[in-house]
Chain A
Amino acid sequence: MRKLENRYVWEVPVRATHWINMLSIVILSVTGLFIGAATTVAHSTSDYTMGWVRFVHFTTGYIFATSVVSRIYWSFVGNRYASWREFVPFVTADGRRRMMQTFRYYLFIDRTPPDVVGHNALAGATYLLVFLLYLLMVLTGFALYGQYAPGGVVSRLTGWLFLVISNQGVRLAHHLTMWLLIAFAIHHVYSAWLMDVKEKGGVISSIFGGYKSIRVKG
Chain B
Amino acid sequence: MDEHSGGHGNGNGQASISQLLEERGVSRRDFLKFCSAMTAALALPATFAPRVARALDEVKRPTLVWLEYQSCTGDTEALLRTANPTVAEIVLDILSVDYAETIMAAAGHLAEENLDKVLKDEKGKYLVVVEGAIPMKDGGVYCCVGGRTALDRAREVCGGAAATIAVGTCASFGGIPAAAPNPTGAVGVRDAVPGVTVVNMPGCPLNADNLSALVVHYLVFGKLPELDAIGRPLFAYGKRIHDNCERRAHFDAGQYVEKWGDEGHRNGYCLYHMGCKGPETFHNCPTQRYNEKTSWPVGSGHGCAGCSEPQFWDTMTPFYRRLPHVPGFGIEKTADRIGVGVAVATAAVFGAHGVVSAMRHKDTSDETKED
Q: In the complex, which of the residues B239, B255, B340, B351 has the most CB atoms of chain A within 10 Å of its own CB atom?
A: B255
Given A113-B363, A167-B315, A169-B315, residue A179 in contact with residue B339 (CB < 8 A)? yes
Q: How far is the CA of A179 from the CA of B329 in the complex (A)?
A: 16
Given A108-B360, A163-B229, A186-B346, 9 more pairs with CB closer than 8 A: A45-B255, A48-B254, A160-B229, A172-B324, A172-B326, A179-B339, A183-B345, A184-B346, A198-B363
- Taking the closest CB of chain A, its distance from the CB of B369, in whole angstroms, is 9
Q: How far is the CA of A217 from the CA of B306 in the complex (A)?
A: 67
Stretch in contact with the other chain, from A12-20, A35-43, A78-86, A131-139: A35-43
- Whether A37 pairs with B322 at a CB distance below 8 angstroms is yes
- Whether B323 pairs with A168 at a CB distance below 8 angstroms is yes
Q: How far is the CA of A171 from the CA of B339 in the complex (A)?
A: 14
Contact of A199 among B238, B306, B364, B367 (CB under 8 A): B364
* Chain A residue at minimal CB-CB distance from B350: A190
- Whether B367 pairs with A2 at a CB distance below 8 angstroms is yes
- Whether B254 pairs with A50 at a CB distance below 8 angstroms is yes
Within 8 A of B (CB), among A113-152: 113, 115, 147-148, 150-151
- Whether B336 pairs with A38 at a CB distance below 8 angstroms is no
- Taking the closest CB of chain B, its distance from the CB of A7, in whole angstroms, is 15
* Chain A positions within 8 Å of B310 at CB level: 166
Q: How far is the CA of A178 from the CA of B282 in the complex (A)?
A: 26
Contact of B253 among A49, A168, A184, A215 (CB under 8 A): A49
* Chain B positions within 8 Å of A51 at CB level: 252-253
- Whether A199 pairs with B365 at a CB distance below 8 angstroms is yes
Stretch in contact with the other chain, from B28-36, B69-77, B102-110, B243-251: B243-251
Interface range for A: 35 or more
Interface string of A19-62 (1 = CB under 8 A from B): 00000000000000100111111101111111101000000000
Contact of B368 among A38, A182, A200 (CB under 8 A): A200
- Whether B254 pairs with A42 at a CB distance below 8 angstroms is yes
- Whether A50 pairs with B252 at a CB distance below 8 angstroms is yes
Given A4-B371, A51-B252, A168-B280, residue A112 in contact with residue B339 (CB < 8 A)? no
- Whether B253 pairs with A198 at a CB distance below 8 angstroms is no
Contact of B350 among A39, A150, A187, A198 (CB under 8 A): A187
Within 8 A of A (CB), among B190-230: 228-230
Given A50-B254, A168-B323, A175-B339, residue A186 in contact with residue B282 (CB < 8 A)? no
* Chain B residue at minimal CB-CB distance from A178: B339
Cβ-based interface call for A197 (8 A): yes
- Whether A171 pairs with B323 at a CB distance below 8 angstroms is yes
* Chain B positions within 8 Å of A63 at CB level: none
Given A1-B370, A163-B229, A187-B350, residue A175 in contact with residue B365 (CB < 8 A)? no
Contact of A40 among B254, B306, B345, B360 (CB under 8 A): B254
Interface string of A189-216 (1 = CB under 8 A from B): 0110110011111000000000000010
Q: How far is the CA of A169 from the CA of B323 in the complex (A)?
A: 8
* Chain B positions within 8 Å of A115 at CB level: 365
Interface range for B: 35 or more
- Whether A108 pairs with B356 at a CB distance below 8 angstroms is yes
Cβ-based interface call for A157 (8 A): no
Q: How far is the CA of A57 from the CA of B323 in the complex (A)?
A: 19
Cβ-based interface call for A89 (8 A): no
Within 8 A of A (CB), among B333-354: 335-336, 338-340, 342-343, 345-347, 350-351, 353-354
- Whether A172 pairs with B323 at a CB distance below 8 angstroms is yes
- Whether A44 pairs with B365 at a CB distance below 8 angstroms is no
Given A150-B228, A150-B282, A199-B364, residue A182 in contact with residue B339 (CB < 8 A)? yes
Q: How far is the CA of A151 from the CA of B234 in the complex (A)?
A: 10
Interface string of B289-304 (1 = CB under 8 A from A): 0000000000000000
* Chain A residue at minimal CB-CB distance from B228: A150
Given A39-B256, A111-B363, residue A186 in contact with residue B347 (CB < 8 A)? yes
- Whether A38 pairs with B273 at a CB distance below 8 angstroms is yes
**4 nearest A-B pairs in the assembled complex, by CB-CB distance:** A179-B339, A49-B254, A42-B254, A166-B315
Cβ-based interface call for A106 (8 A): yes
Cβ-based interface call for A176 (8 A): yes
- Whether A106 pairs with B254 at a CB distance below 8 angstroms is no
* Chain A positions within 8 Å of B336 at CB level: 33, 36-37, 175, 179
- Taking the closest CB of chain A, its distance from the CB of B312, in whole angstroms, is 9
Given A159-B229, A168-B316, A168-B324, residue A42 in contact with residue B364 (CB < 8 A)? no
- Whether B364 pairs with A176 at a CB distance below 8 angstroms is no
- Whether B353 pairs with A168 at a CB distance below 8 angstroms is no
Contact of B354 among A45, A163, A182, A190 (CB under 8 A): A190
Q: How far is the CA of A166 from the CA of B306 in the complex (A)?
A: 12
- Whether A40 pairs with B256 at a CB distance below 8 angstroms is yes
- Taking the closest CB of chain B, its distance from the CB of A184, in whole angstroms, is 8
Q: How far is the CA of A168 from the CA of B239 in the complex (A)?
A: 17
Cβ-based interface call for B357 (8 A): yes
Q: How far is the CA of A184 from the CA of B356 in the complex (A)?
A: 20
* Chain A residue at minimal CB-CB distance from B316: A168
Cβ-based interface call for A77 (8 A): no
- Whether B273 pairs with A176 at a CB distance below 8 angstroms is no
- Taking the closest CB of chain B, its distance from the CB of A43, in whole angstroms, is 9
